[in-house]
Amino acid sequence: MSKIRKFSIGNPINTDAVEKKLAAAKGKIPYLKKEDKSFVYKLGTEDRIYGLGENVRGINKRGWIYESNCADQPNHTETQHSLYGAHNFFVVDGKERFGVFIDYPGKLILDMGYTKMNEIRITPEDWDMDVYIIEGKEILDIVKEFRALIGRSYIPPKWAFGYTQSRWGYKSADDIREVVKGYRENGIPIDNVCMDIDYMERFKDFTVNDETFPDFPEFVKEMEKEHIHLVPIIDAGVKIEEGYDTYEEGVEKGYFCKEKDGSDFVGAVWPGRVHFPDFLNKDAREWFGKQYKILLDQGIEGFWNDMNEPAIFYSEKNLDAVMKKIKKMDNRDMDMWEVFGFRDLVNGLANNPEDYASIYHNMDGKKICHDKVHNLYGYNMTRAAGEAFEELCPEKRILIYSRASYIGMHRYGGTWMGDNQSWWSHLLMNLQMLPSMNMCGFLYTGADLGGFGADTTEDLVLRWLALGIFTPLMRNHSAIGTREQEAYQFTNKEAFKNIIGIRYGLMPYLYSEYMKAVLRNEMLFTPLAFAYPEDTQAQQVEDQLLMGESIMIAPVYTQNATGRYVYLPEKMKLVRMKSMNDIKTEVLEKGHYYVDVALDEVVFFIRPEKIVPYTMGGQFMEEAEQQELKLLHFVTDKAEYELYEDDGYEKDYENPEHYRTIKVEA
């Protein structure tokens, strides 16, 4: 039993975050006390805070100050306050238990017991917002209620659950052929290859460089024969260039973001000078969405939307101003402060708050400053794509995932967790971010496996993949200039082949759990604290998760470890896999264990009276799908499992024929 109430303050901007429109309640907002310029809640010593989607720090968010402000922030250290998403939903669990969603698209400070350890203090920039208070018996009830409010999460095509290789720097069709060959020749399964900005003609959206990718539609077909989907990147900024259709049409129709005086705002990103499409303008959104057709028509069925916070390397006007200041510094004997000032000038060019404050949108006919709606930009870029796909290809699912996001976008696409580093700490961060993303509706998500920035190591990639096999988006991605980290680049190819193979073997379970979580507004990754609310030990566990209804995962995330400590909140069956052919199991009582996990193994735990359907897997999704279904289970009496199966393309999600009940009796 849970209860939702909406409170409207001032003139809230319509974000369409919420699908179920509620009438505003009268009276005072419970729990949050308005004090000065903030909402305040007094925390009990034991209270825990969960949620806030894509963010740094642990599963329990208490003890830090967060800022909802979609940021192009590649430096994911624990001292950051914002990453790419702005997800203002959290649950307080302790002497009182309630959820809060602040539907407010501007900058919001969420001080979660940082300034004062016993106080939550939430500070917006102005008082126009909808506040939703959700009460429920358990945390999971509150989350479910919230998810029902914001609407069904995005469902990608089934092939998007296949393993994906990506790297910034695959320059040509031949580079991609080489990658596919590396996988196929070593028998390492793969379904998708991402195309980063290198494929475009001088970084122009919806173009393909025809020197490096001659006859692109033919290449797409060639890859299709190899059972490979190509997934190109789309950037937010549109290059300013005479004769480039997307640019010319956008200017002509007035679909780009403006300066205060009505001229088109000029920023710079990869292509040099760009205009930013005004995704908050419905017509512009429709128009931009239609641009994806250019690539759909060439056989493409999946995309990733990047740089949509939006990231701005510099604005034309600010660059001019900075250049003038720097000229004055020329030939000067600069002291330390001047050198620092000089550096700040240059570093301050990118993602400059004054630039954001000088951009204007046309939202439902109203002129609105970007500052007030900053967190809606990436969301609406992805919504543009999602809405267009519904119209352009209503019969099939198209893959789309975005870097920036806001709650509401979860209905249109997935996300990836942005530019992490090849650090062990970021493997743990990946795990800890999964449940908070799920709470906010983002189910199709995953981090850059192996790490994006910096040089990786073979053991880090193996350990990270052993977590990645459970995440809906399973993508190995890395930055240009870093060590190559395709699975076939390393010594122990057999281990890579087997671990990625396990992903394909477990697919009947992984896909069923994904679909059920989406269709029932449930979490895919659940902290132990949510599932075992009476267990005070479980509340402390920040490095294990339940994945779906049947299993618990506990990946290794430290270098040179031969295993790790695991807490079993109940009796479970340990499953040790070297490959789908080599599976050992052992029943363990509730309690604490040190569990050995070799580098070439995947270990997980089956809960009592639960079933995990699997197959022997395959080299790609279609092959894996043809294998005979088998069952792993921990059944002492009897158990049932609802298997969800569909063709992976169609959208008749609710069709009861997709469900099949599997029964096991001891």
What residue ranges bind ligand MIG (CB under 6 A)? 168, 196-197, 233, 306-307, 403, 418-419, 477
Q: Among all residues, whose Cβ is closest to ligand MIG?
A: 168
The least distance separating ligand MIG from the CB of residue 194, rounded to whole angstroms, comes to 8
Beta carbons of 573 and 605 less than 8 angstroms apart: yes
Residue closer to ligand MIG (CB basis): 103 or 419: 419
Q: Is 305 exposed, middle or buried (0-12, 13-18, 19+ CB in 10 A)?
A: buried
Q: Strands 551-553 and 545-547: what pairing?
A: antiparallel
**419 or 601: whose CB is closer to ligand MIG?**
419
405-406 and 448-449 strand pairing: unpaired
Q: Is 158 in contact with 23 (CB distance < 8 Å)?
A: no
Nearer to ligand MIG, 197 or 580 (CB): 197
Q: d(Cα 124, Cα 422) in Å, to the nearest integer?
A: 34
Judged by beta carbon, residue 143 or residue 197, the one nearer ligand MIG is 197
Judged by beta carbon, residue 312 or residue 487, the one nearer ligand MIG is 312
Whole-angstrom distance, CA of residue 324 vs CA of residue 331: 14
Shortest Å distance, C-beta 77 to ligand MIG? 17
CB burial of residue 543 (10 Å; 0-12, 13-18, 19+): buried
Nearer to ligand MIG, 97 or 204 (CB): 204
- DSSP secondary structure, 240-287, as one string: --TT-HHHHHHHHHT-B-B-TTSSBP-EEETTEEEE-B-TTSHHHHHH
Q: How far is the CB of 196 from ligand MIG (least distance, A)?
A: 5
203, 204, 210, 216 alpha-carbon torsion, rounded to 10°: 100
Contact between 28 and 146 (Cβ < 8 Å): no
CB of 550 to ligand MIG, least distance (A): 33
Report which residue type is found at 267.
G
Toward ligand MIG, which CB reaches closer, 285 or 477? 477
CA distances from residue 600 to 164, 467, 505, 546 in whole angstroms, order as listed: 20, 13, 16, 22
| Distance of closest approach, residue 203 Cβ to ligand MIG, in angstroms | 9
Instruction: Give the nearest distance from C-beta 73 to ligand MIG in angstroms.
Output: 10
CB 237 → ligand MIG: shortest distance, Å? 11
Between 313 and 532, name the residue whose CB sits nearer to ligand MIG.
Answer: 313
For ligand MIG, the closer CB: 355 or 625:
355
Q: Which is nearer to ligand MIG, 104 or 313 (CB)?
A: 313
Cβ-contact 56, 35 below 8 angstroms: no
- Least distance to ligand MIG, CB of residue 485, Å: 13
Q: Quick one: 313 or 424, whose CB is closer to ligand MIG? A: 313
**Cβ at position 536, least distance to ligand MIG in Å:** 39
Nearest distance from C-beta of residue 477 to ligand MIG, angstroms: 6
User: Looking at beta carbons only, is 74 or 608 nearer to ligand MIG?
Assistant: 74
192: which 2 tokens?
Answer: 């998708």
Nearest to 539 by CA among 552, 548, 530: 530
Nearer to ligand MIG, 98 or 303 (CB): 303
Angle, CA of 180, 181 and 185, to the nearest 5°: 125
Contacts of 516 (CB under 8 A, 6+ apart): 522, 548, 549, 642, 644
In angstroms, give the least distance from the CB of 36 to ligand MIG. Answer: 38
Kindly report the length of the chain: 666
**Cβ at position 271, least distance to ligand MIG in Å:** 12
Contacts of 54 (CB under 8 A, 6+ apart): 83, 84, 85, 87, 405, 415, 417, 418, 433, 436, 437, 442
- Give the burial string for 478-511 (b: 16+ CB within 10 Å, else e): bbeebeebbbbebeebebbbbbbbbbbbbbbbbb
Residue 7's identity, in one-letter code, is F
Q: 594 Cβ partners below 8 Å, 6+ apart? A: 563, 564, 565, 566
- State in angstroms the smallest separation of the CB of 78 from ligand MIG: 20
